[in-house]
A and B are shown apart, each in its own frame.
Chain A
Amino acid sequence: MGSGEVAAGVMRFEVSHRTTYSYRLPVAQSYHLVHLQPRAFARQAVVHHSLLIDPAPVISTSIVDYFGNAATLLRIEDEHSELVVHSRSTIDVAAPAAIDPAATTPWEDVTSRAHLPDGGLDAGVLQFACTSRLTPASRDVRAFARESFPARRPVLDGAMHMTRRMFETFKFDSTATDVSTPIARVLEIRRGVCQDFAHLAIAALRTLGVPARYVSGYLLTRPPPGQVKLKGADASHAWLSVWAPETGWVDFDPTNGIMPTMEHITVAYGRDYEDISPISGVLLGGGDQRMSIAVDVEPVG
């Protein structure tokens, strides 16, 4: 497929993701690990990707992380009070194959069926059945999970149930939590943002031994009818992916209560946010920082 034309059954998006950090004190030097290049996989192709950084880094190294995501290591030596990271991508997304959640393996048996074609254990899947720093297990989280997973329920059926339940009973509220809010608190107040919901759902599935991973990406948003879409009004988004032996990985978006189709663009996946945060950094200096993000997701063609 050339970059000029878009195949049938495929949607093409142009994504602009511009992050500006303003520091109260000058940053003498900084290192960053960036996960902004969308991932290429069966139903997603990256036609174009560019990363602009100001001030320019002295070193920029592309690596592939443990989960197969493309990542970039940066080192900036110029003293600066503002850092701009501008990622621009063109991506083709095909619709996921239709699946029948009710026809998947009962959740209790999923772990024992994570096998490679040669019969070996699929460590690549099983690693996502383990807790991580941001998805710790607890009695409450497990009880929360069991509400959607009575005995012998097909795993994706349960995942869909939990996704809907969270959409219905949790309130989106970006003031209720911050970056350091643990999932135990999110569960208690039933409020939060996409990242909180994804972490809680992942932690819940993992307490049952079900492999679940964190997905970072973008979501096409539509303006209310009759209004013009505002520039930069989109945001980076997060959801989760659940594994079943019949289907492989299938995405669920508890923030919106849906199984994503063609309007979710995957950037990277990992155990939790910490593995694949879009921009993480270690700074010398800086003091307090303010961050502003402008994301535009435009369907083209």
Chain B
Amino acid sequence: MKVRVERGENNNSMPAIAPQAPPASITARYARTSAYDELISPDGSIAPHWQPILSGLEALTHEQRLERINRINTRVRETGIAHDLFADPSRNVQPWHLDLMPLVFTSATWAGIEKAVVQRARLLEAVLGDLYGPQRLMQRGLIPPQLVFSDPAFLRACHGIEPPGGRIQFIAVDLTRSNDGSWRVVDTHVETPAGIGYALANRTVLTHVSGDIFAASKAVRLAPYFQQMQDQLAQRINRPDPSIALLTPGPRHNDFFSHAYLARYLGFLLVEGDDLRVESGRVYLKTLDGLQPIDLVVRCVAGALSDALELDPSGFLGPVGLVQAVRQQPSLVLNALGTAIAENRGLGSMLPQLSNELLGEDLLVPDVTKRWLGDPAVRSSVIQNIERYFIRRAYEQTARPGRAAPGRDASQMTAAERAALVEDIEINGAALVAEEKTTLGTTPSYGPNGLEAKPFALRVFATAVSGGFVVMPGGLAMTVDAGASMALTAPDGASRDVWVISDHAQPAFKSLWRPAIEAAQIQRGPREMPSRAADNLFWLGRYIERADWTFRVLRNCLSRIEEDSGPRQNLQLARMALLTLLDRDNATPVAVPPDLDEPRVIAHLARMLMTSTDRVYGLPQTLSHIHRVASLTRDRLSLEAWRTLNSFYVGRRWQPDALPRSIGEELDLIDAGLGVVAAFNGLTHENMTRNFGWSFLDMGRRTSRALNLSQLLLSAFRLAPSTVVGPEDDTGRMLFVLELADSFITYRSRYRVNPTLALVLDLLIVDETNPRSLAFQLAALSNHIDTLPQTGKGRGRTEVQRTALAMLTDLRLADVLTLAEQGPDGQRPALVSLLSRQVERIPQLSDALTRRYFSVVEKEPRWVRARSRQES
């Protein structure tokens, strides 16, 4: 079964789990193939260590199991594992699926895996030490020089740099079972932490849903492993309160989820190359408060692309000059620059001999048969038997689980394709390997008929500790297509958690989420706010408030035309409010169909606002901005806040074809949206530390609210009453704006009289105690701005401060009686001019903030690599 999960709100309609008569036992239809199977021993009996899990699942009804699968899917979506941040949200495929059934190992089996992975880590550390040092292995022919020198991952500029604690901090090994039950290595990852965030997220999701079974099975927990990893990194730096940055290629990279999740879990700063700067051999983070030194860079970017000056000139994923910084401070970057050469698949067949030479040990778990095609003799023998192999690149860029490139299979090719493949082998053999096809071991997957046997590969993670390596007691298993490749190629992202059953009871649960924040050892200082993060949080605040406002306008307008549920008054005002949003930012004015009556016009415009993708204030754009910016800042948001926001996006409810048809249903949806915004605002208000991050988020909110309110008031009161609603309906206008600004109850409790314009304007414009008033927003902005780092201390106010102060003062000096005064033509010139000034200056304030605080990201020219040539 290919498990494809639809991104639908109605989880029960998933095609993968079709409603069928549940089998008597979940193992009833489990069929073992000729391959080694984890669940059923060759004699047909069920391996005893699976029993607690099987019993746990069989104790549930079929419906309860489906319910758990639905909860897993929901969590997977809400955690964001599945998202490709920039993918089209209307596409239905979720590229990640977590099986209800974990893969389970006895501690004895696991001990064997651990030994093999640790041995491999030690071996590759020794190989790297030689390749970046004396290079004796090449001289002795144990590693062909052409293999090393054909691989762009060998970084010549890093030769001779000796990190004292070794080059490998993070290693991951992909394993499969042979038919006889022995393990084989498919791929080794020593470039980056290789998707460990996915394993961690899978565990978090599965124990959330199946925590009872997890506890009953006495499976080993992961937190102590990450604690060891944290301790080791802190020890490597050997100074109090170190700053550790996790360097990611950014949100467009397909492993970004893993980077952000890991950074958040371990309490590291999540940074991109542009956030860092090298000066005098040290790496600094560009923050709001100037340059802050970074003690250790956890590298999640390709080494070759980490320094455009000395490495690949097209690589801007790290700060310019990083290699020189590493020369002066060799353990600055982990894994060390250049480790990817040890991933070269061509090394596979050489490792047994290297293990004997370098460690004096037999290699415990060798690779699947991989033959390096740089060797002419190997080349011709492979070409003669080409159907037996997959032809693969010797080096691969991605470490995201499931994304390994499929091998080329001559048995599936036309004669012409095969000839091209042979020619490619003959010309580019040094960059290729032939991998012998073999069967893969199987493990149970939970499907519609109970358990089914699926071929799998297992990724195991290890990290360096002083004196060696420790293996994470768990991992990531994926269903792989044995017909395409041996590696973790799983386009459907069918994954499962890996449980190691302990012989003894497990100590009480201890998650790092809280200790990471409490422990003084590794902590993010309040001032370390990268400019990029400040920028993103500012915009998150703006978009959240924009969504809130849009929802309020929609609710107000639609409730006026709902059948029999309110007075059908002031429909022209509703139309005006909707058009104000639709026509924002110089959009082409909406053409209102002339033949509709007023309620239908409102319904039409409201639906347009809810579905239009080309209007700046259309909900689809606002919601996708929220999702994108929240994803970029998720290392700074609490998990709850992130999940709350994400639930917005992952449901398909906001897609045009999924919108409800009745106004009542639309209103329900809008109320749900308002609930999400309120929950997010509450969570950030309660849980976010009052540091610069909070300031920028709140400034974004305040800016947006000030803009929306002043624009509404301006639209409502700009025209003479007679042209819009008739002179008797000034009251209607006042009620309308009071309601939209959520201030109606305040007004009634305070004045207990029918709205009087001067009093309404006082409440909405100048009253600094009303959190919905214009003056309140400006006062809050001004307060935040005064606490921001100011570089020109003692030189008077900055441009940002001056703009905010001018706007606030303008409001404070306003006299509400004058504002309410009507001229002979029915206009209110004082009010219009005050509001126009505000509407004009808010974008100026936002621009000034951008110039001052975000400019290192936005405004600076980009780094470019200059090129010339030799011409004579």
Tell whether A and B belong to one assembly.
yes
Q: Is the CB of B861 within 8 A of A236?
A: no
Given contacts A178-B869, A291-B868, is CB(A123)–CB(B310) below 8 Å? Answer: no
Q: Is the CB of A75 within 8 A of B321?
A: yes
> Which residues of chain B come closer than 8 Å to A130, judged between CB atoms?
146, 149-150, 430
> Which residues of chain B come closer than 8 Å to A61, judged between CB atoms?
324
Task: Tell me, yes or no, whether B863 is within 8 Å of chain A by CB.
Answer: yes
Min Cβ gap B133→A in Å is 12
Q: Is the CB of A280 within 8 A of B313?
A: yes
> Which residues of chain A come closer than 8 Å to B870, judged between CB atoms?
193-195, 216, 235-238, 273, 277-278
Min Cβ gap A219→B in Å is 7
Task: Tell me, yes or no, whether A120 is within 8 Å of chain B by CB.
Answer: yes
Which residue from chain A places its CB closest to the CB of B321 in the assembled complex? A31
Bits for A54-93, please: 1 = Cβ < 8 Å to B, else 0. Answer: 0000010101011100000101000000000000000000
Task: Tell me, yes or no, whether B729 is within 8 Å of chain A by CB.
Answer: no
Min Cβ gap B344→A in Å is 13
Q: Is the CB of A195 within 8 A of B140?
A: no
Pick the contact of A179 from B149, B428, B869 — CB < 8 Å? B869
Most-contacted residue by chain A among B141, B866, B870 (CB, 10 A): B870
Min Cβ gap B314→A in Å is 9
Q: Is the CB of A33 within 8 A of B866?
A: no
Min Cβ gap B213→A in Å is 52
Min Cβ gap B531→A in Å is 15
Task: Tell me, yes or no, whether B872 is within 8 Å of chain A by CB.
Answer: yes
Pick the contact of B866 from A216, A280, A293 — CB < 8 Å? A280
Bits for B798-836, please: 1 = Cβ < 8 Å to A, else 0. Answer: 000000000000000000000000000000000000000
Complex Cα spacing A194 to B280, Å = 37
> Which residues of chain B come closer than 8 Å to A194, judged between CB atoms?
870-872
Q: Which of B138-170 contact A (CB under 8 A)?
A: 138-141, 145-146, 148-150, 152, 156-157, 159
> Which residues of chain A come closer than 8 Å to B280, judged between CB atoms?
59
Task: Tell me, yes or no, whether B860 is within 8 Å of chain A by CB.
Answer: yes
Q: Is the CB of A123 within 8 A of B145?
A: yes
Task: Tell me, yes or no, whether B753 is within 8 Å of chain A by CB.
Answer: no
Q: Is the CB of A279 within 8 A of B868?
A: yes
Pick the contact of B320 from A31, A66, A219, A287 — CB < 8 Å? A31
Most-contacted residue by chain B among A31, A129, A219, A238 (CB, 10 A): A31
Pick the contact of A280 from B141, B865, B871 — CB < 8 Å? B865
Min Cβ gap A218→B in Å is 9
Bits for B416-427, please: 1 = Cβ < 8 Å to A, else 0. Answer: 000000010001
Which residue from chain B places its CB closest to the CB of A71 in the assembled complex? B310
Bits for A232-276, please: 1 = Cβ < 8 Å to B, else 0. Answer: 001111100000000000000001000000000000000001110
Complex Cα spacing A216 to B159, Å = 22
> Which residues of chain B come closer than 8 Å to A273, judged between CB atoms?
869-870
Task: Tell me, yes or no, whether A121 is within 8 Å of chain B by CB.
Answer: yes
Q: Is the CB of B866 within 8 A of A31?
A: no
Q: Is the CB of B150 within 8 A of A195?
A: no
Task: Tell me, yes or no, whether A52 is within 8 Å of chain B by CB.
Answer: no
Given contacts A31-B321, A216-B870, A291-B868, is CB(A137)–CB(B427) below 8 Å? Answer: yes
Q: Is the CB of A28 within 8 A of B865?
A: no
Q: Is the CB of A120 within 8 A of B139?
A: yes
Which residue from chain B places its CB closest to the CB of A256 in the assembled complex? B872
Min Cβ gap B866→A in Å is 4
> Which residues of chain A come closer than 8 Å to B136, judged between CB atoms?
120
Task: Tell me, yes or no, whether A47 is within 8 Å of chain B by CB.
Answer: no
Task: Tell me, yes or no, whether A284 is within 8 Å of chain B by CB.
Answer: yes
Task: Tell me, yes or no, whether A127 is within 8 Å of chain B by CB.
Answer: yes
> Which residues of chain A come closer than 8 Å to B139, judged between CB atoms?
116, 120-123
> Which residues of chain A come closer than 8 Å to B141, judged between CB atoms?
120-121
Given contacts A138-B427, A193-B870, A236-B872, is CB(A282)–CB(B864) below 8 Å? Answer: yes
> Which residues of chain A come closer than 8 Å to B724, judged between CB atoms?
none
Task: Tell me, yes or no, whether A96 is within 8 Å of chain B by CB.
Answer: no
Q: Is the CB of B138 within 8 A of A123?
A: yes
Which residue from chain B places its CB closest to the CB of A133 in the assembled complex? B152
> Which residues of chain B come closer than 8 Å to A234, judged between CB atoms?
872
> Which residues of chain B come closer than 8 Å to A201, judged between CB atoms?
none
Which residue from chain A places its CB closest to the CB of B135 in the assembled complex? A123
> Which residues of chain B come closer than 8 Å to A216, judged between CB atoms?
870
> Which residues of chain A come closer than 8 Å to B152, judged between CB atoms?
133
Bits for A110-131, please: 1 = Cβ < 8 Å to B, else 0. Answer: 0000001000111100110111
Complex Cα spacing A131 to B867, Å = 21
Task: Tell me, yes or no, whether A142 is within 8 Å of chain B by CB.
Answer: yes
Complex Cα spacing A238 to B872, Å = 8
A-B contact count (CB 8 A): 138
Q: Is the CB of B427 within 8 A of A207?
A: yes
Q: Is the CB of A235 within 8 A of B156?
A: no
Which residue from chain B places its CB closest to the CB of A66 in the assembled complex? B156
Q: Which of A124-159 contact B (CB under 8 A)?
A: 126-127, 129-131, 133, 137-139, 142
Task: Tell me, yes or no, whether B54 is within 8 Å of chain A by CB.
Answer: no
Q: Is the CB of A127 within 8 A of B861?
A: no
Pick the contact of B159 from A66, A142, A238 — CB < 8 Å? A66
Task: Tell me, yes or no, whether A281 is within 8 Å of chain B by CB.
Answer: yes
Which residue from chain A places its CB closest to the CB of B430 in the assembled complex? A130
Complex Cα spacing A24 to B647, Å = 49
Bits for B284-328, please: 1 = Cβ < 8 Å to A, else 0. Answer: 000000000000000000000000111001000000110010010
Pick the contact of B145 from A121, A282, A287 — CB < 8 Å? A121
Q: Which of B96-152 contact A (CB under 8 A)?
A: 135-136, 138-141, 145-146, 148-150, 152
Q: Is the CB of A28 within 8 A of B310?
A: no
Given contacts A236-B870, A283-B866, is CB(A126)–CB(B149) below 8 Å? Answer: yes
Q: Is the CB of B320 within 8 A of A282?
A: yes
Complex Cα spacing A33 to B156, Å = 15
Q: Is the CB of A126 within 8 A of B321?
A: no
Q: Is the CB of B149 within 8 A of A121?
A: no
Task: Tell me, yes or no, whether A25 is within 8 Å of chain B by CB.
Answer: yes
Complex Cα spacing A175 to B867, Å = 17
Complex Cα spacing A193 to B864, Å = 25
> Which residues of chain A come closer than 8 Å to B324, judged between CB atoms?
61, 73
Given contacts A121-B138, A121-B139, A274-B313, is CB(A284)–CB(B872) below 8 Å? Answer: no
Q: Is the CB of A277 within 8 A of B868?
A: yes
Min Cβ gap B362→A in Å is 25
Most-contacted residue by chain A among B138, B320, B868 (CB, 10 A): B868
> Which residues of chain B come closer than 8 Å to A178, judged between CB atoms?
869
Which residue from chain A places its CB closest to the CB of B159 in the assembled complex? A66
Which residue from chain A places its CB closest to the CB of B279 in the assembled complex? A75
Task: Tell me, yes or no, whether A50 is within 8 Å of chain B by CB.
Answer: no
Complex Cα spacing A293 to B868, Å = 11
Which residue from chain B places its CB closest to the CB of A74 in the assembled complex? B309
Complex Cα spacing A256 to B870, Å = 15
Pick the contact of B872 from A32, A255, A274, A283 — CB < 8 Å? A255
Which residue from chain A places its CB closest to the CB of B138 in the assembled complex? A123
Complex Cα spacing A106 to B870, Å = 32
Min Cβ gap B143→A in Å is 9
Min Cβ gap B212→A in Å is 56
> Which residues of chain B come closer than 8 Å to A219, judged between CB atoms?
872
Min Cβ gap B142→A in Å is 10
Min Cβ gap A203→B in Å is 11
> Which residues of chain B come closer than 8 Å to A66, judged between CB atoms?
156-157, 159
Q: Is the CB of B866 within 8 A of A21?
A: yes
Min Cβ gap A153→B in Å is 19
Given contacts A123-B135, A282-B308, A282-B864, is CB(A195)–CB(B149) below 8 Å? Answer: no
Which residue from chain A places its CB closest to the CB of B429 in the assembled complex? A137
Q: Is the CB of B866 within 8 A of A281?
A: yes
Residue positions of B touching A, CB distance < 8 A: 135-136, 138-141, 145-146, 148-150, 152, 156-157, 159, 280, 308-310, 313, 320-321, 324, 327, 423, 427-428, 430, 860-872
7 additional A-B pairs beyond A31-B320, A138-B427, beta carbons within 8 Å, are: A31-B321, A33-B310, A116-B139, A121-B140, A277-B867, A278-B868, A282-B863
The 4 closest A-B pairs by CB, nearest first: A120-B139, A235-B872, A66-B156, A285-B861
Contact sample, A vs B, 6 pairs, CB 8 Å cutoff: A63-B327, A121-B138, A123-B139, A130-B149, A235-B871, A280-B865
